[in-house]
Amino acid sequence: MSGYPAVPEGIAFGGDYNPEQWPREVQEEDVRLMREAGVNLVSLGIFAWALMEPREGGYEFDWLDTIVDRLHGAGISVNLGTPTTVPPAWFSRAYPDAFPVTREGVRVGAGARQHACSSHPAFRAASARLAERLAERYGDHPAVVMWHVHNEYGAPLGECYCPSSTAAWRSWLRHRHGSLEALNTAWGTAFWGQHYGEWEEIDAPRWSHTVVNPAQRLDYARFANEEHLSHYRAQRDILRRTGKPVTTNFAGTVSCKSMDLWRWAPELDVIANDHYLNGEQPDNHIQLAMSADLSRSLAGGQPWMLMEHSTGAISWQARGIAKRPGEMRRNSLAHVARGSDSVLFFQWRASRYGAEKWHSAMVPHAGTGSRLWRDVVALGADVRRLAPVRGGRVAAEVAIVWDWESYWALELEWRPSGDLAFRERVDAFYEALWREHVTVDFVHPSADISGYRVVLAPSSYLLTETSAKNLRRYVEAGGHLLVSFFSGVVDENDTVHEGPCPGALRDVLGLSVEEFHPLRERETVTLTGGATGRIWSERVHLGQARALQCFADGPDAGHPALTVHPFGAGTASYLAAALHGAGLRAVLTDLLDRAGVSRPRDLPDTLELVRRDRYAFLINHGPTPANVPAMTGTDLLTGAPFPGQVPAGGVAVVELDRRTP
Ligand code: GAL
């Protein structure tokens, strides 16, 4: 089963609702205010295990019945949570060995949340029992339109090193490798004399005083991902019997490194993402766009849900930066532009106590006499006007390869440079395209990519033979591929592909690399086209490829820095330098032109433009009005003809008429 929940109308608007913190009068006021703001969906019960099951096996749901009924009476739908992210105190006391253990051997304490190990049998059993009870009691309730399992798997702790995990790890290894011989080969245990003669000899890759076998680390990351996934699946299977869609909220598609979301995506009925803006970062809306594009890509292009974001301050960041006027609106509508059919927040009402009382909310401490509340009400009205957008698809001609396994592997210790980081390159490429108004999908390197005009592989350090063949086939059939340095160099076991780098891509790129020349901290290199690179330089030898630019200085002066290889019906380009900003943009625009990627010209690069079906979202992040003269149609947000200009900080959602190409 798959599908978007039966939220009554249009785009879902609301957020996490934790009424258990409030007396009845406040709960009643909540519902009145929700109606005033146009809230139509709330996520309930996410942290309420201790109230639902105050004693082991003793369930109490009357309080929840009252709340669900009250919401239903007001026409507000419920996304009902299974609260397994916070096991009650009785559970921790009864099962002290269920506390997770960090890689450093520290046992996680109680009093916070996420303090049970996903592999622990008692935790799994208690979670499943609770899911059964919730399914039984609320499965038929007309207000409950979907299920929200757990909360943000893998954040903050992806890997657990407790005894239950270690036992599960050994059986996972048997299943993955089949024999000890295969495991010894995969892990390269001949190095540093690590050969295993019995399964029981294998431990989790705990902290050690120097580098632990990277292949073992990589397998552990895979294993940890699967353990959380199987905890999710068990609840999902129970809840699915109700016929209502089941999801879990990702802890930020672009920021949650520990979970391989390509493996999660097919297990969810609807993709749900939490996105928290980095208040400190200039142009943080670009990272937001990237997170939304990755969410849509995980959803296979189907509508997805923005399950949480903030109205302002985020209390777990070093500074709780308030959003500037208009920013919450721009943020919210940017998610919708990129395929979200919901605008949901953490949380409805600011808590008076507890860890997150300084986190912003839809109803702030200042109450309804505040700018923030007025903005929330206005946003609710905007969201209602966007109802026709629901279900609309976003098309992309360009894809960026994103692989969590490569992310994990690249960021293990002792790489040729400590400056190499997965997001460093991906973000640089994404930003250049965002500024060119090019919408991007993200793809796994083994996925069907035949529909894209351009595929970029900025950080594909780990690339399996299968994925490399996939990229090769793509180029042969007429695709345009651009690969960045230090890609395609190791396989799934972090073993260097045979021969010179980039082993898996040598033939398609038509070149080989003789030696890496990582740069010193502030050192830069210049290319013959004038652009400057940091971090990296390397000695490229051309095979069938030809050089478009060379290094003009540095350790590889006079040698190729940007190459292209016509291969089959397509081309494979290689960029051996870490370019940024305008320099990278020039390389990419060249490629986009060569590949015939359509995009608007002459728009300011602070204007976000995304097309969702026949609606064009125009979000002006700049300080001056942006002219978009060629576009004609009706602005859904005003109901008036689009005047050809978006005010500074403003948004227009133009239903395009036939005159607009
Ligand atoms: C999310 C989490 C929420 C809340 C929020 C605050 O990561 O799912 O429960 O803590 O952060 O930003």
Is 126 in a helix, a strand, or coil? helix
Which of 277, 278, 356, 360 maximizes ligand 1 atoms within 8 Å of its Cβ, making it the mutation to test the pocket? 356
| Contact predicate 453/480, CB 8 Å | yes
pLDDT of residue 1: 44
Using one digit for the tens of pLDDT, what is the confidence trace for 387-423? 999 999 999 999 999 999 999 999 999 999 999 999 9
Encoded tokens for 94: 């009864």
Please classify residue 90 by burial: count the beta carbons closer than 10 Å to its beta carbon, then call 0-12 exposed, 13-18 middle and 19+ buried: middle
Q: Which of 517, 490, 468, 361 is nearest to 21 (CA)?
A: 361
Closest ligand 1 atom, residue 151 Cα: 8
152 lines ligand 1 (CB under 6 A): yes
| Contact predicate 330/651, CB 8 Å | yes
From CA 171, how far away is CA 181, in angstroms rounded?
15
| Contact predicate 617/334, CB 8 Å | yes
Where b means 16+ CB within 10 Å and e means fewer, 171-185 reads ebbeeebeebeebbe
Per-10-residue mean pLDDT for the chain, 661 residues long?
A: 70 98 98 98 98 98 98 98 98 98 97 97 98 98 98 95 98 98 98 98 98 98 98 98 97 97 98 97 97 98 97 97 97 98 98 98 98 98 97 97 98 98 98 98 98 98 98 98 98 98 98 98 97 98 98 98 98 98 97 96 96 98 96 97 98 88 65
Please report the DSSP string for 409-422 in residue order. Answer: HHTSS--S-TT--H
309 lines ligand 1 (CB under 6 A): no
Residues 6+ apart with CB under 8 A from 198: 180
Does the CA dihedral 30-33-35-41 come out positive or negative? negative
pLDDT of residue 9: 74
From CA 234, how far away is CA 289, in angstroms rounded?
32
- Structure-token match 């809230």, residue found: 39
Encoded tokens for 507: 């033939």
Beta pairing class for 272-274 and 249-250: parallel
Beta pairing class for 305-308 and 272-274: parallel
222 lines ligand 1 (CB under 6 A): no
311 lines ligand 1 (CB under 6 A): no
> What are the residue numbers of the active site?
152, 308
Q: How remote is the CA of residue 346 from the centroid of ligand 1, in Å?
A: 6
pLDDT of residue 661: 65
Closest ligand 1 atom, residue 316 Cα: 12
Q: How remote is the CA of residue 469 from the centroid of ligand 1, in Å?
A: 40
356 lines ligand 1 (CB under 6 A): yes
| Contact predicate 152/85, CB 8 Å | yes
- Structure-token match 């969201």, residue found: 383
Q: Output the residue whose Cα is nearest ligand 1's atom 11.
A: 346
114 lines ligand 1 (CB under 6 A): no
Please report the DSSP string for 581-607 in residue order. Answer: HHHHHHHHHHHHHHHT-----S--TTE
Q: Output the residue whose Cα is nearest ligand 1's atom 12.
A: 314
pLDDT of residue 8: 66
Which of 308, 344, 349 maximizes ligand 1 atoms within 8 Å of its Cβ, making it the mutation to test the pocket? 308
From CA 316, how far away is CA 294, in angstroms rounded?
23
Using one digit for the tens of pLDDT, what is the confidence trace for 124-134? 999 999 999 99
Encoded tokens for 117: 């190990």
CA distances from 270 to 4, 31, 147, 299, 340 (A): 6, 26, 10, 7, 11
Paired strand residues for 633? 656
What's CA 304's distance to the chain center, in Å? 12
From CA 501, how far away is CA 511, in angstroms rounded?
9
Closest ligand 1 atom, residue 46 Cα: 9
Encoded tokens for 125: 């059993």
**Angle, vertex CA 323, rays to CA 322 and CA 327, nearest 5:** 175
Q: Model's pTM, two decimal places?
A: 0.98
Q: Supply the DSSP symbol for 206.
A: -
| Contact predicate 470/445, CB 8 Å | yes
Q: Which of 18, 131, 25 is nearest to 64 (CA)?
A: 18
Long-range pairs for 562-568: beta carbons < 8 A, 24 or more residues apart: 562/527, 562/529, 562/587, 563/509, 563/510, 563/511, 565/508, 565/509, 565/510, 565/511, 567/472, 567/475, 567/476, 567/508, 567/510, 568/475, 568/476, 568/477, 568/478
Please classify residue 197 by burial: count the beta carbons closer than 10 Å to its beta carbon, then call 0-12 exposed, 13-18 middle and 19+ buried: exposed
